[in-house]
Amino acid sequence: MSEQYKSREERRKLQTQKTEKKKKNKIHKSAPLWKKILLSLLAIGIVGMVAGGITFAAIVAGAPKLDDKKLKDSFSSIIYDMNGNEITEFGQVKRTYVPYDDIPKVLEEAVLATEDARFYEHNGIDIIRLGGALVANVQEGFGAEGASTITQQVIKNSLLTTDKTISRKVQEIWLAFQLEQKYSKQEILEMYLNKIYFPGNIYGVAQAAESFYGKELSELELHEAAMIAGMPQSPNNYNPRTNPENAEKRRNIVLSLMAQHGFITEAEADEAKKIPVQSTVIEPTEKANSYHAFVEEVIEEVKEKTDIDAGSAGLKIYTTLDPKAQETVEDVLNGDSIDFPDDKMQAGITLLDTKTGEIRAIGGGRNQPVGGYNYATDTRRQPGSTIKPVLDYGPAIEHLQWSTSEPIVDEPYTYSDGTTINNWDRKYKGQMSIRDALADSRNIPALKALQAVGLEKAQEFAQGLGIPLPEIYEPYAIGGFSHGVSPLQMAGAFSAFGNNGIFIEPHAVKKIVLSDGTEIDLAPEPKEAMSDYTAFMVTDMMKSVVEYGTGKSVQIPGVNIAGKTGTTNFSTEDKEKYDVPSGASKDAWFVGYNPNYTAAVWTGYNISKDSEKVYLTSEDQRLARAMFKEVFSEIAGDDTSDFKQPDSVVKKYIEKGSKEPVLASEYTPSNMVTEEYFVKGTEPTKESKKYVKVKPDKPSSLSVNYDQVTNSISLNWGYDEGALENVSFEVSQSVDGGQYQVVSTSKNMGYAIADVTPGATYSFRVVAVSDEDNSNRSGTASTKIQVPKAENDVPVLPDEEENQSDEGSENENENGNGNSNENENGSSNGNNEENGNNNGNGNGNGNGNGNDNGNTENNDGTQTEDGQNNDGTETQPPVDVEIPLDINGTNEEEEQEN
């Protein structure tokens, strides 16, 4: 039994073992799937690593080798003008190399806090910073944010291009590791601090300390060291001389970073922040040469677009500079052609190529030192009325398809919030076209145009022309900006109007060539900023500004100039503070262009508590226009090119003063006709009915008398008193049947002739002529008289009914005895035969619509005078429409726009 049990137990145990074995076998059979997944991932990883390694190896194989000379030395760059001729070499002169041991701790800490706080902890790459940059690049696209350490910046500035590509970044990382292996941290920091670029063509911290503070590095105070550390990120924007407000903000950020990273205390940072950024900055002393302002723009442009310090990279820089234009601009600013009121008045000039946006010349200011303020590129002043084409009329034509004759009412008006807006002359001109409103720089029509198109569309339009408008308000319509604009920006915007609506960002650099021969094209791409019809129509309106408006003093014979004047006012507070007289302005502008050149000129004063004078008198305000004319006369004085009308625009002759544009009729007086442009398909088709040619009444009761005592003949006639003010009377005379000659045109209702010839027959015609249109004439009143041959003779007069010429036909009988019958109603009949039997009809009046026997004879025997057809109907000469407009009251010398 026990044996059986044992066997049973053994069998059970054996069965259990078999079951477990089967389970194990099942588990073993499912394992290969997971293994395959794991093995696949492992294989992919290995392949990726191998591929990545191969790619990395290939990329770093193309990396340049570490070169001690390039790492430690700066290489000057050469600048070429628009023709490829070298104009200057720069980068080595203003550089004082300083070893690490001479760099004060406060400056080192300021730089580390700003640029690379973990510099002494990493091996060339800051992983934490790199991770943050990777997140930003994934979210915003590659190149959105950098993570370069000081080590990487040394590599980038000395050995590599600045392209934001993966391969360039890989090479930079690889070389940074190598640099850290070869050099100490102190040596790397020394390389960096001696290559930093500062405004004014300055390189290295030692030269910066001397140039900005007149000090050795060891003498720098905390706030000064923080400013030097903060400037290199954007040298011109953070220049304490030219942009003190931005510079102070940047310096305070550096101080906060120093406190954050434990280099200084919060109390020390706060104390340093209280010191005005300009308090210890010294004035530059070196006199700038004629190319200096342009060269500084080149350096800044290369830095902004490539992050390369041009003064240390050994570049070949091909620019857009026109040497002749640059010299002209400098002569105008600093020469004798313009009589400036004093040495403190400043000006900035930018000259562009209208078609390409290339900067031909930059006038940075009057008597500016090296590193001084650049009034052509850096200044930000309110544009005044120069903004009206950009922000008001341009958008209205673009989006509303207004014509150049769009009627607009100049009347008492307010902004939407109820604030009153005034014109510069405090007057109103009623209904006018937008052409005339722009020509006379009216503020109220400009605001109405902005309101009509809407703030948002106007803002987008201006931004498309390179005018930075982060916000917009109604006072912007007349140039009341919160943040101003530069002459460079205004020239760029206006050049698009002259370039068929294509905006090309103003630029000074076409391309650069690196030391290894790599070329980088820096010319911006053209962008369509508006329709060609907008560009042409706004341009034509601005031609009127120069032809008869506020800018007429810039006219150059034969040169087609479009442009706009602008002045700005002081606030009420500033007027009182600086004792500004009536009629004075804060800024004066002129921006103008022809098909080939665009120039923007700003004039004004720096305003500070120490300023003796801060305003422009009415006389001073003319100088912006005078400077423009001087530059343009020299550069484009023989340029007769004109703007081409596009197919999208049609020209029509419009009658002035109508509520809606209507075509001028044949009866519209020439001084009421204007030539205007319309977007094709919007032009008017309705002809004016305002001027209907109503023929003046014929003079009545014409009488003729001979005075034997004085031997003279007198004529007298009557006329409706109510119509006298609108007509004049033309008297024609014929002697003995000869040609009629006009002997008098006046408003008198009488005429006398003395010393008449005895025995002669005098014939007279009198016609009423419209004062508005001398082709509009009445019928002819006529009479005649024969002077006696002797004292006892009686003068021969026409019959009584022949003198009564106020009714339909006039008959003058003439025969061999001195009596005649002349028909004046345009036809002859059987009663007007003369001796000799002249056959035919005598047609004509005083303007060619009267009767005259003896004038031109036609083939059929009829006779006509000029201006009347053979059938007696009148013909009209064509209406003369080439009459320039006249804006009453325009005084360019007194323009004061709000």
How is residue 514 written in tokens? 């690196």
Give the pair of three-digit tokens for residue 576. 């009182």
Report the C-alpha gap between 353 and 526 in whole angstroms.
13
Q: Which of 77, 108, 109, 115 is catalytic?
A: 115
Strand partners, 715: 704, 751
Asked whether the CA dihedral 573, 578, 582, 585 is positive or negative, the reply is: negative
Token pair, residue 639, equals: 């340029």
Position of tokens 């003779």? Answer: 793
Q: What span, in angstroms and rounded, lies between the C-alpha atoms of 717 and 533?
A: 58
Helix (H) or strand (E) holding 438, with range, is: helix 434-439
For the record, the structure tokens of 519 come out as: 């070329």
**% helix, strand, coil for the chain, step of 5:** 35, 20, 45
C-alpha separations of 504 from 139, 501, 528, 543 in Å: 30, 10, 9, 22
Active site residue 385: yes
For residues 148 and 156, what is the distance between their CA atoms, to the nearest angstrom?
Answer: 9
Whether the CA torsion 824, 826, 832, 835 is positive or negative: it is positive
Instruction: Residue 828: name the closest of 838, 816, 818 by CA.
Output: 838
Nearest to 472 by CA among 399, 406, 398, 416: 416
Q: What is the DSSP string of 256-284?
A: HHHHHTTSS-HHHHHHHHTS-TTSSPPPP
Q: Tokens representing 758?
A: 């005895």
Q: How far is CA 667 from the centre of its chain?
A: 39
Of residues 684, 676, 675, the one with CA closest to residue 882? 675
Distance of CA 398 to the CA centre of its chain: 15
Report CA 26 to chain centroid distance, whole Å. Answer: 84
Contact at 8 Å (CB) between 202 and 182? Answer: no
Q: Of the listed 158, 211, 312, 385, which one is catalytic?
A: 385
For residues 339 and 611, what is the distance between their CA atoms, to the nearest angstrom? 21
Nearest to 387 by CA among 210, 564, 250: 564
Which of 712, 849, 855, 842 has the alpha carbon at shortest distance from 775?
849
Q: Up-side HSE of residue 46: CA atoms within 13 Å toward CB?
A: 6
The enclosing H or E element of 28 equals helix 2-61
DSSP bridge pairs for 598 = 352, 593
Q: Hey, is 410 helix, strand or coil?
A: strand
- What is the H or E stretch that residue 691 is in? none
SS3 call for 552: helix
CA distance 228 to 240: 10
- Please spell the DSSP secondary structure of 120-182, one letter per residue: TTSSS--HHHHHHHHHHHHHH-TTSS----HHHHHHHHHHS-----HHHHHHHHHHHHHHHHH
Question: Phi and psi (nearest 5°) for 197?
Answer: -95, 140
Check if 115 is active-site: yes
Beta strands 77-80 and 316-319 are parallel
Q: Pinpoint the alpha helices (H) of 485-552.
A: 487-498, 532-548
Sheet holding 562-568, edge to edge: 359-363, 346-353, 597-604, 587-593, 562-568
- Residue 273 neighbours by CB under 8 Å, 6+ apart: 223, 251, 252, 255
Would you please indicate which residues are annotated as catalytic (active-site) residues? 115, 385
